[in-house]
Amino acid sequence: MTDAKRPLLYLCLVSLVAVLAVASMSAGKVWVPWSAWLGSKGDPAWAILFELRLPRTLLAMMIGAALGLTGAALQGYTRNPLADPGMLGVSGMAALGAVTTFYMGSFAAAVWVLPFFAMVGAALGVVMLLLMAGVTSSSITFILAGVVIQTVAGAGVALALNLAPNPWAVTEIVNWLMGAVTDRSFDEVKIAAPGMLAGCLFLLGQGRMLDALTLGENGARTLGVSLVRGRLLLTFGVALAVGSAVAVTGVIGFVGLIVPHLLRPLVGAKPSALLLPSALGGAALTLAADILVRLLPAATEVKLGVAMAAIGGPFFLILLVSMRRKLA
Amino acid sequence: MSDLEANDLCVRIAGRTILNNVSACFARGKVTAIVGPNGAGKSTLLDCLVHLRTPQSGRVVLGGQDIGRISERQRARQVAYVPQNAEVVWAINGETFVGLGRTPYVGAWGLSRDDRACVSAALSMTDTEEYRHRVISTLSGGERARMMIARALAGQPEWLLADEPLAGLDPGHVLDMGDLFRKLARDRGCGIIVTLHDLGAALRIADRVIVLAQGQIIADAAPIEALTPDVLRQAYGIVTQTLDGANGPVLEVLGRGL
């Protein structure tokens, strides 16, 4: 893509996010009419709009952006189009931290307990990662260490389910793991926003390193890029962004994998050019999926994480097949 | 003070001695060719000179300063490196690829207008403007080799170190590349250090030839004085003679020595 077209793409993506955000405010079991936007505070429609739908919409946008951006950054860093935000084990450890609170039954004590433990889990994951792989090892070692941590965290979650004190704890854990932005308040937004914002800024600053890595690690080093500092910043960025996202919404997969793929044909293969569009694309996709789960005529609302995988999977496959056909 | 020096470099990899007390001082404005048989340590020497590898003993000094003490960015601005068989991961086009050579200069906001001018200049110097919009992976080996040089030149380095830059080039472009190296050295005072397998090209292009064999320097002089039959027999186990050609001396390989 030429540089002249880039502002146009940003404009399209920003308008898409804006339209979907407005739709997300209005759509659901109760359709909120336009008049309620200017209503008074005591009005039930106003309450739905600003106390239920607004935090939900904000959260969907935030986690979508964080996951899309993280996916693009990690695909660039690992030079592997299959990388996703779960890759470094951070999301697994965050989930394990959250699950621990369900297991102990302490999650209900206060609104911050679960996110706090999830963030502790994410931080622990980063410490493990840096202890296992260090900052100077090859990126293969680094990724393998991440995969190991993700596996261990998955085993920990399974163990918590296995040893759960009662069936309610199991249900709580399973429900939470599926990932959703339902019934969230501004408390969750306040808890997640600082970490996500800081993490995203860290990641957006890595464009120069990601581009240089197109020439491999030695290539990047001879171009004057410090891979040690880059890896540290990337790790903290991923931990803050994904850790905060998992802490308030559970595990929502696929966004980070699929969005960079969708946008790569539009922005070109240069990793830095993919970062910001992936954040916007992630926000749009997550908003769209969240609107969809609200409108599905099911007795129990389908979880966002589930819907994302169910729709995203086949969609992604079709995309890949059609792209292949174009290349062949 | 802007010399690049290798002082008593020793490198061992997996128990094998690759470089054994190698010392050489390089001056800017000259083309130096490093020749030697496969496994002689040519690429390892280049790796040390660009600080991709830290020798077990000895040190590399750039402009009077230990190369490890110069900041990454500063070092990359001074020294450009073109490896052999460089990997290019994503399907980026020629312009973006050559633009990566500006990495030591760019900030968070991408290439400036000056950066783009450097990219265009590098493309025209290496006669690769036609590959500006081609995806790198679709270029042939020789075309890609020229793009690698363009990428290095985009950074306007004081030193250009290239591992086998002539491998895969057709005879016409071998001549062009040789002329380009000489011009960069003469006009811009660029210090050029290349490893070569083509002894004839070394004779033509270089101001100075270093012959490396089994991790040691066995000759270091002007081309015609370094590439003598004795030295080449010792280095490669081949029999050669130097003839007077129309454009200076020509090296003829007669066969394997007994």
pLDDT confidence of residue B75 = 95
* A284 is a domain residue: yes
Per-residue pLDDT averaged across B77-83, rounded?
Answer: 95
How many domains does chain A contain in total?
1
Coil, helix or strand at residue A314: helix
A204's enclosing H/E stretch is helix A186-204
Q: A220 to chain B: nearest residue by CA?
A: B103
Residues of B whose CB is below 8 A from A216: 86-87, 89
Output the DSSP codes for B80-118: EEE-TT----S--BHHHHHHGGGTTT-BTTB--HHHHHH
Contacts of B91 in chain A (CB under 8 A): 269
Q: What is the mean pLDDT of chain A?
A: 88
Which residues have CB under 8 Å from A327's CB, separation 6+?
A: none
- In the structure, what pLDDT confidence band is assigned to residue A143 with cuts at 50, 70 and 90? confident
Which residues of chain B does A213 touch, with a Cβ-Cβ cutoff of 8 Å? 89
| Average pLDDT along chain B | 92
Residues of chain B positioned with their CB less than 8 A from the CB of A136 = none
Sign of CA dihedral B187, B193, B197, B200: positive
Output the CA angle B62-B66-B70, nearest 5 degrees.
80
Q: How confident is the model at residue A4 (pLDDT cuts 50, 70, 90)?
A: low
What is the Cα–Cα distance from A154 to A150, expressed in whole angstroms? Answer: 6
Measured CA to CA, the distance from residue A24 to residue A28 in angstroms comes to 8
Q: Is residue A1 part of a domain?
A: no
Residue with tokens 């609302």: A301
CATH of the domain at B170: 3.40.50.300
Q: Quick one: three-class SS letters along B8-41?
A: EEEEEECCEEEEEEEEEEECCCCEEEEECCCCCC
Please say whether the beta carbons of B54 and B30 come within 8 A.
Answer: no
Q: Tens digits of per-residue pLDDT, A90-136?
A: 889 999 999 998 888 887 778 888 888 998 999 899 889 888 887 77
B174: closest CA of chain A, how far (Å): 24
- Is residue A45, in this structure, part of any structural domain at all? yes
The one-letter amino acid code at A196 reads M
Contact B91 A224 (CB under 8 A): no
Cβ–Cβ of A223/B101 closer than 8 Å?
A: yes
CA dihedral A275, A277, A278, A281 (to 10 degrees): 170
**pLDDT band at residue B210 under the 50/70/90 scheme:** very high
Per-residue pLDDT at A86 exceeds 90? no
Residues of A in contact with B93 (CB under 8 A): 268
Residue with the bigger pLDDT between B95 and A185: it is B95
The domain containing residue B74 runs over which residues?
4-256
A14 min Cα distance to partner chain B (Å): 20
Pairing of β B208-213 and β B216-221: antiparallel
Q: Does A246 fall in a domain?
A: yes
What pLDDT does B168 receive?
86
Does pLDDT of B14 surpass 60?
yes
From A212's Cα to the closest Cα of chain B, the distance in A is: 6
Residue range B83-105: mean pLDDT, rounded: 90
Contact between chains at A216 and B106 (C-beta distance less than 8 A): no
pLDDT at A328: 56
Q: From B192, B249, B243, select the one nearest B223 (Cα to Cα).
A: B249
DSSP β-bridge partners for residue B33: B194, B209
**For the segment A185-194, what is each residue's pLDDT rounded down to a tens digit?**
888 899 899 9
pLDDT confidence bin for B239, thresholds 50/70/90: very high
CATH number, domain of A87, equals 1.10.3470.10
Structure-block tokens of residue A234: 């990337």
pLDDT number for residue A197:
95
**Domains: count for chain B:** 1
Q: DSSP secondary-structure letter at B246?
A: T
How far away is chain A from the Cα of B124, in angstroms, using its nearest Cα?
21
Q: Could you tell me the pLDDT band of residue A214, with boundaries at 50, 70 and 90?
A: very high
From B89, B100, B107, residue closest to A223, measured CB to CB? B100
Segment A251-265 shows an average pLDDT of 88
- Which position has the higher pLDDT, A204 or A175? A204
Residue A253 domain boundaries: 6-327
Contact A223 B77 (CB under 8 A): no
- Rounded CA-CA distance A66/A193 in Å is 10
CB atoms A269 and B90 under 8 Å: yes
Task: Give the C-alpha separation, A87 to A146, whole Å.
Answer: 6
pLDDT at B219: 95
Q: For an interface test with A, which of B89, B95, B159 has the most A Cβ atoms less than 10 Å from its Cβ?
A: B89
| Minimal-distance CA residue of chain A relative to B110 | A208
If one counts every other C-beta atom within 10 angstroms of the C-beta of residue B191, the result is 24
Q: Are A95 and A118 in contact (CB under 8 A)?
A: yes
